[in-house]
Amino acid sequence: MKFLTILFLTLGLAACANSPKQSLYEEIGGTSTLDKVYGLAINRIYNDPRLAPHFEGVPKSHLRKMLTEQTCELIGGPCTYSGKSMQEAHQERNVTHAEFYILVEHVQQAMRLIGLTYAQENRLLAALAPLKKDIVYQGE
């Protein structure tokens, strides 16, 4: 009996060790959490006079859907981003480094308000960071 208990415990531990690591997407609650984060972030972005001029004529709902889909894909979710490439979407806009960081800060604040942990915030931002080179105007 004792032998069986030990056997089951050992197998159980081995199964835990081998189980695939949960993606950040699953960990934060998937698309519904991302949609809330971007809903909040986009309101802040459109209300920020330093950023608002860029977004004139860009429908909030479209941007929210695209950002949610893109981040979903980047953090291990089951989505396929269907929007423009980052170069295509931003190249004519001369986005500055400063504007990039202001926007990212709104996304960070939104994550905090929605209740993501500091570690989750950092992991999500790390997934967005490689996009910077295609968003910021290279002449900067």
Binding site for ligand HEM (CB under 6 A): 51, 54-55, 58, 63, 66-67, 70, 83-84, 89-90, 93, 95, 99-100, 103-104, 128, 131, 135
Token duo for residue 52? 């608002």
Q: Which is nearer to ligand HEM, 20 or 53 (CB)?
A: 53
Residue number of the CB atom closest to ligand HEM: 83
HEC string for 76-126? CCCCCCCCCCHHHHHHHHCCCHHHHHHHHHHHHHHHHHHCCCHHHHHHHHH
Q: Which is nearer to ligand HEM, 37 or 103 (CB)?
A: 103
- CA 112 vs. chain centroid, Å, equals 13
**Token pair 């990039």 in the structure block, residue:** 100
Q: Which is nearer to ligand HEM, 34 or 128 (CB)?
A: 128
- H or E stretch at 34: helix 30-46
| Residue 67 Cβ vs ligand HEM, minimum distance, rounded to whole Å | 5
Q: Which is nearer to ligand HEM, 14 or 50 (CB)?
A: 50
Under 8 Å between Cβ of 26 and 91: no
| Residue 22 Cβ vs ligand HEM, minimum distance, rounded to whole Å | 23
| Residue 131 Cβ vs ligand HEM, minimum distance, rounded to whole Å | 5
| Residue 7 Cβ vs ligand HEM, minimum distance, rounded to whole Å | 50
Under 8 Å between Cβ of 120 and 111: yes
